[in-house]
Structure 1
Amino acid sequence: MTSRPEHPPLQLDDALPLLGIAAWSGTGKTTLLESLLPRLAARGLRTAVIKHAHHDFDVDQPGKDSHRLRQAGAAPMLVASRARWAMMMETPDQEEANLAQLIEAMRPQRPDLILVEGFKAWPLPKLELYREALGKTLRVAEDPWVKAVASQPPVSVPAGVDWLDLDDLDAIAEWVAAWPSRWPAERAPRSWI
Protein backbone atom coordinates (compact mmCIF):
# COMPACT_ATOMS: atom_id res chain seq x y z
CA MET A 1 0.00 0.00 0.00
CA THR A 2 1.35 3.43 -0.88
CA SER A 3 1.54 6.24 1.65
CA ARG A 4 -0.95 9.06 1.34
CA PRO A 5 -0.71 12.67 2.43
CA GLU A 6 -2.41 13.33 5.75
CA HIS A 7 -5.67 15.23 5.58
CA PRO A 8 -7.95 16.47 8.33
CA PRO A 9 -10.66 13.95 9.16
CA LEU A 10 -13.93 14.19 7.25
CA GLN A 11 -17.20 14.00 9.14
CA LEU A 12 -18.70 10.95 7.47
CA ASP A 13 -22.12 10.89 9.13
CA ASP A 14 -25.47 9.45 8.03
CA ALA A 15 -26.91 12.90 7.27
CA LEU A 16 -24.66 13.88 4.36
CA PRO A 17 -23.76 11.30 1.69
CA LEU A 18 -20.47 12.04 -0.09
CA LEU A 19 -19.07 10.44 -3.22
CA GLY A 20 -15.77 11.34 -4.80
CA ILE A 21 -15.39 11.25 -8.57
CA ALA A 22 -11.72 10.40 -9.00
CA ALA A 23 -9.75 10.09 -12.22
CA TRP A 24 -6.64 11.22 -13.99
CA SER A 25 -6.86 14.49 -15.90
CA GLY A 26 -8.37 13.98 -19.34
CA THR A 27 -10.59 11.06 -18.32
CA GLY A 28 -13.76 13.14 -18.52
CA LYS A 29 -14.79 13.87 -14.92
CA THR A 30 -16.48 17.18 -15.70
CA THR A 31 -18.10 15.84 -18.88
CA LEU A 32 -19.51 12.90 -16.95
CA LEU A 33 -20.85 15.18 -14.20
CA GLU A 34 -22.48 17.44 -16.81
CA SER A 35 -24.39 14.43 -18.13
CA LEU A 36 -25.01 12.91 -14.71
CA LEU A 37 -26.45 15.94 -12.87
CA PRO A 38 -29.65 16.26 -14.97
CA ARG A 39 -30.21 12.49 -14.66
CA LEU A 40 -29.87 12.71 -10.86
CA ALA A 41 -32.22 15.71 -10.74
CA ALA A 42 -34.77 13.74 -12.80
CA ARG A 43 -34.59 11.05 -10.09
CA GLY A 44 -35.40 13.69 -7.46
CA LEU A 45 -31.91 14.13 -6.03
CA ARG A 46 -30.64 17.57 -5.07
CA THR A 47 -26.94 17.13 -5.80
CA ALA A 48 -24.17 19.54 -4.78
CA VAL A 49 -20.71 19.47 -6.35
CA ILE A 50 -17.36 20.45 -4.88
CA LYS A 51 -14.73 20.74 -7.61
CA HIS A 52 -11.00 20.87 -7.09
CA ALA A 53 -9.03 23.29 -9.26
CA HIS A 54 -5.32 22.67 -9.77
CA HIS A 55 -4.51 26.27 -10.46
CA ASP A 56 -5.20 29.77 -9.28
CA PHE A 57 -8.67 30.79 -10.37
CA ASP A 58 -11.02 33.69 -9.86
CA VAL A 59 -14.79 33.86 -10.26
CA ASP A 60 -14.67 37.60 -9.73
CA GLN A 61 -13.85 40.26 -12.28
CA PRO A 62 -11.26 42.92 -11.54
CA GLY A 63 -12.93 46.29 -11.07
CA LYS A 64 -16.24 44.87 -9.82
CA ASP A 65 -17.25 45.83 -6.27
CA SER A 66 -17.01 42.25 -4.95
CA HIS A 67 -13.49 41.88 -6.37
CA ARG A 68 -12.41 45.21 -4.89
CA LEU A 69 -13.80 44.29 -1.47
CA ARG A 70 -12.19 40.85 -1.52
CA GLN A 71 -8.87 42.39 -2.50
CA ALA A 72 -9.30 44.85 0.39
CA GLY A 73 -9.55 41.96 2.84
CA ALA A 74 -13.15 40.73 3.07
CA ALA A 75 -12.90 37.09 4.14
CA PRO A 76 -15.21 35.60 3.15
CA MET A 77 -16.75 37.75 0.45
CA LEU A 78 -20.33 36.84 -0.39
CA VAL A 79 -22.04 38.44 -3.35
CA ALA A 80 -25.77 37.89 -3.87
CA SER A 81 -28.44 38.76 -6.36
CA ARG A 82 -31.99 37.67 -7.08
CA ALA A 83 -30.62 34.91 -9.34
CA ARG A 84 -27.69 33.47 -7.31
CA TRP A 85 -25.09 33.96 -4.65
CA ALA A 86 -21.42 33.07 -4.46
CA MET A 87 -18.97 33.08 -1.60
CA MET A 88 -15.26 33.59 -2.07
CA MET A 89 -12.71 32.91 0.65
CA GLU A 90 -9.03 33.71 0.40
CA THR A 91 -6.84 30.86 1.70
CA PRO A 92 -3.28 32.15 1.30
CA ASP A 93 -1.86 30.01 4.12
CA GLN A 94 -3.16 26.72 2.71
CA GLU A 95 -1.12 24.65 0.29
CA GLU A 96 -4.20 22.67 -0.71
CA ALA A 97 -7.93 23.21 -0.45
CA ASN A 98 -9.34 21.81 2.79
CA LEU A 99 -12.09 19.42 1.73
CA ALA A 100 -13.40 19.03 5.30
CA GLN A 101 -13.96 22.79 5.47
CA LEU A 102 -15.65 22.86 2.04
CA ILE A 103 -18.02 20.04 3.01
CA GLU A 104 -18.99 21.89 6.19
CA ALA A 105 -19.68 25.00 4.10
CA MET A 106 -22.08 22.88 1.97
CA ARG A 107 -23.81 21.18 4.91
CA PRO A 108 -26.33 24.02 5.66
CA GLN A 109 -27.67 23.70 2.08
CA ARG A 110 -28.79 20.13 2.95
CA PRO A 111 -28.23 18.48 -0.43
CA ASP A 112 -29.23 14.84 -0.87
CA LEU A 113 -25.71 14.06 -2.09
CA ILE A 114 -22.39 15.85 -2.49
CA LEU A 115 -20.25 14.78 -5.44
CA VAL A 116 -16.60 15.68 -4.97
CA GLU A 117 -14.64 16.07 -8.22
CA GLY A 118 -10.93 15.66 -7.71
CA PHE A 119 -9.49 15.42 -4.18
CA LYS A 120 -8.56 11.84 -5.12
CA ALA A 121 -6.11 11.39 -2.21
CA TRP A 122 -8.72 12.29 0.45
CA PRO A 123 -10.28 9.47 2.50
CA LEU A 124 -13.83 9.34 1.19
CA PRO A 125 -15.82 6.83 -0.87
CA LYS A 126 -15.09 7.18 -4.58
CA LEU A 127 -16.25 6.27 -8.04
CA GLU A 128 -13.06 5.92 -10.10
CA LEU A 129 -13.24 6.76 -13.80
CA TYR A 130 -10.68 5.03 -16.00
CA ARG A 131 -9.82 5.17 -19.70
CA GLU A 132 -7.13 2.70 -20.73
CA ALA A 133 -6.26 4.91 -23.74
CA LEU A 134 -4.74 7.53 -21.39
CA GLY A 135 -2.01 5.10 -20.37
CA LYS A 136 -2.34 5.89 -16.66
CA THR A 137 -2.60 3.45 -13.77
CA LEU A 138 -5.83 2.21 -12.28
CA ARG A 139 -5.99 3.37 -8.63
CA VAL A 140 -8.57 0.90 -7.26
CA ALA A 141 -5.92 -1.63 -6.15
CA GLU A 142 -4.13 0.92 -3.96
CA ASP A 143 -7.13 2.95 -2.72
CA PRO A 144 -9.51 1.10 -0.38
CA TRP A 145 -12.00 3.99 -0.67
CA VAL A 146 -12.87 3.16 -4.30
CA LYS A 147 -16.38 1.64 -4.29
CA ALA A 148 -16.85 1.37 -8.06
CA VAL A 149 -14.85 1.73 -11.25
CA ALA A 150 -16.43 3.06 -14.44
CA SER A 151 -14.05 2.19 -17.25
CA GLN A 152 -13.64 1.78 -20.95
CA PRO A 153 -12.77 -0.95 -21.83
CA PRO A 154 -13.91 -3.25 -18.98
CA VAL A 155 -11.32 -3.92 -16.26
CA SER A 156 -11.00 -6.43 -13.45
CA VAL A 157 -11.84 -4.94 -10.03
CA PRO A 158 -11.28 -6.26 -6.49
CA ALA A 159 -14.03 -8.08 -4.61
CA GLY A 160 -16.53 -5.64 -3.13
CA VAL A 161 -16.00 -3.08 -5.91
CA ASP A 162 -18.64 -2.57 -8.60
CA TRP A 163 -17.73 -2.24 -12.27
CA LEU A 164 -19.67 0.13 -14.54
CA ASP A 165 -19.40 0.82 -18.27
CA LEU A 166 -18.07 4.37 -18.58
CA ASP A 167 -20.11 4.83 -21.76
CA ASP A 168 -23.42 3.77 -20.12
CA LEU A 169 -24.54 7.04 -18.51
CA ASP A 170 -27.90 5.65 -17.42
CA ALA A 171 -26.25 2.77 -15.52
CA ILE A 172 -23.82 5.18 -13.85
CA ALA A 173 -26.72 7.49 -12.95
CA GLU A 174 -28.60 4.54 -11.39
CA TRP A 175 -25.54 3.55 -9.35
CA VAL A 176 -24.94 7.13 -8.14
CA ALA A 177 -28.66 7.73 -7.46
CA ALA A 178 -28.66 4.66 -5.18
CA TRP A 179 -25.58 5.89 -3.31
CA PRO A 180 -27.44 7.93 -0.61
CA SER A 181 -29.41 4.83 0.45
CA ARG A 182 -26.21 2.73 0.56
CA TRP A 183 -24.16 5.49 2.25
CA PRO A 184 -24.62 4.49 5.91
CA ALA A 185 -23.29 0.97 5.24
CA GLU A 186 -20.59 1.93 2.71
CA ARG A 187 -19.01 5.08 4.12
CA ALA A 188 -15.90 3.23 5.33
CA PRO A 189 -13.00 1.96 3.22
CA ARG A 190 -13.14 -1.64 2.09
CA SER A 191 -10.87 -3.95 4.02
CA TRP A 192 -7.71 -5.38 2.48
CA ILE A 193 -8.16 -9.11 2.12
Structure 2
Amino acid sequence: MKVIGFAGYSGAGKTTLVEALVALMKQRGLKVSVIKHAHHHFDVDREGKDSWRHRKAGAYEVLLASDKRMALMREYEQPTELSVSDMLAQLDPAVDWVLIEGFKHGELPKIEVWRQQQDRLDKGKSQAPLYPHDAMVMAVATDANHDLPQTPTQPVLDLSQPQAVLQWLLDHADSLQYRN
Protein backbone atom coordinates (compact mmCIF):
# COMPACT_ATOMS: atom_id res chain seq x y z
CA MET A 1 0.00 0.00 0.00
CA LYS A 2 1.02 3.56 -0.64
CA VAL A 3 0.53 6.07 2.18
CA ILE A 4 0.36 9.85 2.07
CA GLY A 5 -0.77 12.35 4.68
CA PHE A 6 -2.58 15.62 4.15
CA ALA A 7 -1.65 18.12 6.83
CA GLY A 8 -2.75 21.65 7.45
CA TYR A 9 -4.75 23.82 9.74
CA SER A 10 -8.51 23.70 10.18
CA GLY A 11 -10.31 25.19 7.20
CA ALA A 12 -7.41 24.74 4.78
CA GLY A 13 -9.32 22.31 2.55
CA LYS A 14 -7.88 18.92 3.56
CA THR A 15 -11.24 17.13 3.64
CA THR A 16 -12.35 18.55 0.29
CA LEU A 17 -9.08 17.51 -1.34
CA VAL A 18 -9.09 14.01 0.18
CA GLU A 19 -12.75 13.53 -0.82
CA ALA A 20 -11.95 14.47 -4.43
CA LEU A 21 -8.88 12.22 -4.49
CA VAL A 22 -10.83 9.24 -3.16
CA ALA A 23 -13.43 9.68 -5.93
CA LEU A 24 -10.75 10.07 -8.63
CA MET A 25 -8.82 7.04 -7.38
CA LYS A 26 -11.97 4.92 -7.25
CA GLN A 27 -12.76 5.94 -10.85
CA ARG A 28 -9.34 4.51 -11.79
CA GLY A 29 -10.20 1.22 -10.05
CA LEU A 30 -7.94 1.83 -7.06
CA LYS A 31 -8.92 0.65 -3.57
CA VAL A 32 -8.50 3.51 -1.10
CA SER A 33 -8.69 3.71 2.68
CA VAL A 34 -8.77 6.91 4.73
CA ILE A 35 -7.53 7.58 8.25
CA LYS A 36 -8.94 10.78 9.74
CA HIS A 37 -7.70 12.43 12.90
CA ALA A 38 -10.64 13.20 15.17
CA HIS A 39 -10.89 15.23 18.32
CA HIS A 40 -11.23 13.65 21.75
CA HIS A 41 -14.95 12.97 21.94
CA PHE A 42 -16.62 11.66 18.83
CA ASP A 43 -19.12 8.91 18.29
CA VAL A 44 -20.08 6.89 15.25
CA ASP A 45 -22.82 5.13 17.14
CA ARG A 46 -26.31 6.32 18.05
CA GLU A 47 -27.77 6.36 21.52
CA GLY A 48 -30.21 3.54 22.13
CA LYS A 49 -28.91 1.24 19.39
CA ASP A 50 -27.80 -2.24 20.46
CA SER A 51 -24.14 -1.51 19.69
CA TRP A 52 -24.31 1.71 21.75
CA ARG A 53 -25.86 -0.23 24.63
CA HIS A 54 -23.10 -2.87 24.47
CA ARG A 55 -20.40 -0.16 24.59
CA LYS A 56 -22.11 1.65 27.46
CA ALA A 57 -22.36 -1.64 29.33
CA GLY A 58 -18.56 -1.86 29.21
CA ALA A 59 -17.60 -3.84 26.11
CA TYR A 60 -13.99 -3.19 25.13
CA GLU A 61 -14.79 -3.75 21.45
CA VAL A 62 -17.99 -3.87 19.46
CA LEU A 63 -17.84 -5.05 15.86
CA LEU A 64 -20.86 -4.37 13.68
CA ALA A 65 -21.16 -6.30 10.45
CA SER A 66 -23.60 -6.67 7.61
CA ASP A 67 -23.24 -7.92 4.08
CA LYS A 68 -22.31 -4.35 3.03
CA ARG A 69 -20.26 -2.88 5.89
CA MET A 70 -18.17 -3.59 8.96
CA ALA A 71 -17.31 -1.19 11.78
CA LEU A 72 -15.13 -1.83 14.79
CA MET A 73 -15.40 0.41 17.83
CA ARG A 74 -12.88 0.10 20.64
CA GLU A 75 -13.15 1.87 23.99
CA TYR A 76 -9.99 2.85 25.86
CA GLU A 77 -10.20 3.16 29.63
CA GLN A 78 -7.35 5.67 29.63
CA PRO A 79 -6.52 8.21 26.92
CA THR A 80 -4.46 6.34 24.34
CA GLU A 81 -2.53 7.95 21.50
CA LEU A 82 -2.21 5.50 18.64
CA SER A 83 0.60 6.01 16.20
CA VAL A 84 -0.16 6.17 12.50
CA SER A 85 1.60 2.79 12.21
CA ASP A 86 -0.82 1.34 14.79
CA MET A 87 -3.75 2.62 12.74
CA LEU A 88 -2.34 1.40 9.45
CA ALA A 89 -1.99 -2.07 10.98
CA GLN A 90 -5.78 -2.12 11.49
CA LEU A 91 -6.48 -1.64 7.76
CA ASP A 92 -6.83 -4.17 4.99
CA PRO A 93 -3.28 -4.57 3.62
CA ALA A 94 -4.69 -5.16 0.13
CA VAL A 95 -5.66 -1.52 -0.38
CA ASP A 96 -3.77 0.42 -3.01
CA TRP A 97 -3.66 3.76 -1.18
CA VAL A 98 -4.20 5.11 2.33
CA LEU A 99 -4.90 8.84 2.56
CA ILE A 100 -4.34 10.21 6.06
CA GLU A 101 -6.03 13.45 7.01
CA GLY A 102 -4.62 15.34 9.95
CA PHE A 103 -1.67 14.22 12.07
CA LYS A 104 0.28 17.25 10.87
CA HIS A 105 3.22 16.41 13.11
CA GLY A 106 3.26 12.70 12.26
CA GLU A 107 6.34 11.07 10.80
CA LEU A 108 4.89 10.16 7.45
CA PRO A 109 5.19 11.58 3.95
CA LYS A 110 2.65 14.36 3.56
CA ILE A 111 1.30 17.13 1.43
CA GLU A 112 0.71 20.37 3.28
CA VAL A 113 -2.60 22.00 2.40
CA TRP A 114 -2.27 25.79 2.69
CA ARG A 115 -4.84 28.51 2.10
CA GLN A 116 -4.18 32.24 1.97
CA GLN A 117 -6.38 33.00 5.00
CA GLN A 118 -4.04 30.97 7.19
CA ASP A 119 -1.74 33.97 7.41
CA ARG A 120 -4.03 35.37 10.06
CA LEU A 121 -3.90 34.49 13.73
CA ASP A 122 -6.36 31.81 14.77
CA LYS A 123 -7.30 31.26 18.41
CA GLY A 124 -4.29 33.30 19.42
CA LYS A 125 -1.81 30.99 17.70
CA SER A 126 0.13 31.78 14.58
CA GLN A 127 -0.47 29.32 11.78
CA ALA A 128 3.07 28.99 10.54
CA PRO A 129 3.59 26.66 7.62
CA LEU A 130 5.07 23.21 8.16
CA TYR A 131 6.96 22.96 4.86
CA PRO A 132 10.00 25.09 5.78
CA HIS A 133 11.00 22.87 8.71
CA ASP A 134 9.26 19.49 8.26
CA ALA A 135 11.29 17.16 6.05
CA MET A 136 8.25 14.89 5.65
CA VAL A 137 6.35 17.55 3.65
CA MET A 138 6.86 16.38 0.08
CA ALA A 139 4.67 19.01 -1.61
CA VAL A 140 2.47 22.01 -0.84
CA ALA A 141 -1.08 22.17 -2.20
CA THR A 142 -2.36 25.74 -2.21
CA ASP A 143 -4.80 28.13 -3.81
CA ALA A 144 -2.42 31.05 -3.29
CA ASN A 145 1.12 30.09 -4.28
CA HIS A 146 2.16 33.75 -4.64
CA ASP A 147 1.01 34.44 -1.08
CA LEU A 148 2.86 31.63 0.68
CA PRO A 149 4.79 33.03 3.66
CA GLN A 150 8.01 31.45 2.35
CA THR A 151 8.96 30.05 -1.04
CA PRO A 152 8.86 26.25 -0.72
CA THR A 153 11.67 24.05 -1.95
CA GLN A 154 9.02 21.35 -2.45
CA PRO A 155 6.76 21.17 -5.49
CA VAL A 156 3.71 23.44 -5.31
CA LEU A 157 0.41 21.85 -6.40
CA ASP A 158 -2.81 23.64 -7.30
CA LEU A 159 -5.33 22.87 -4.58
CA SER A 160 -8.19 23.53 -7.01
CA GLN A 161 -6.91 20.82 -9.39
CA PRO A 162 -7.30 17.47 -7.59
CA GLN A 163 -6.62 15.63 -10.86
CA ALA A 164 -3.15 17.24 -10.95
CA VAL A 165 -2.58 16.34 -7.28
CA LEU A 166 -3.55 12.75 -8.12
CA GLN A 167 -1.13 12.71 -11.04
CA TRP A 168 1.64 13.95 -8.72
CA LEU A 169 0.80 11.14 -6.29
CA LEU A 170 0.85 8.53 -9.06
CA ASP A 171 4.16 9.90 -10.36
CA HIS A 172 5.66 9.55 -6.85
CA ALA A 173 3.94 6.29 -5.89
CA ASP A 174 7.20 4.36 -5.50
CA SER A 175 8.45 6.73 -2.80
CA LEU A 176 5.10 6.47 -0.97
CA GLN A 177 5.14 2.68 -0.60
CA TYR A 178 4.50 1.91 3.10
CA ARG A 179 7.11 -0.18 4.85
CA ASN A 180 6.15 -0.96 8.43
TM-score by length of 1: 0.79
Alignment root-mean-square deviation, CA: 1.9
Distance 1:92 1:22 in 2: 29
Map residues 1-193 of structure 1 onto 2, 5 A cutoff: 16-106=1-91, 108-135=92-119, 136-154=127-145, 155=148, 156-158=151-153, 161-184=154-177
Matches of 2:79 and 2:128, distance apart in 1: 29
- Following TM superposition, the consecutive aligned residue runs of length 4 or more in structure 1 with deviations greater than 4 angstroms are none
Look up the SS of the partner of 1:48 in the other structure.
strand
Give the Å deviation of 1:39.
0.7
Confirm or deny: 8 A CA contact 1:19 1:114 kept in the other structure: yes
Aligned to 2:124: none
Q: Distance in 2 between matches of 1:92 and 1:17?
A: 32
Distance 2:68 2:162 in 1: 30
Q: Percent identity?
A: 38
Once residues 142 and 59 of structure 2 are traced to their aligned partners in structure 1, the CA distance between those partners, rounded to angstroms, is 44
Q: Deviations over 1:123-165 (max 9, x none)?
A: 000011001222132110111100011112114212xx22111
- Deviating more after overlay: 66-75 vs 48-57: 66-75
TM-score, normalised via structure 2 length: 0.85
C-alpha separation between the residues in 2 aligned to 1:75 and 1:102? 17
d(CA) in 2 for partners of 1:179, 1:78: 36
Gaps of 5+ in 2: 120-126
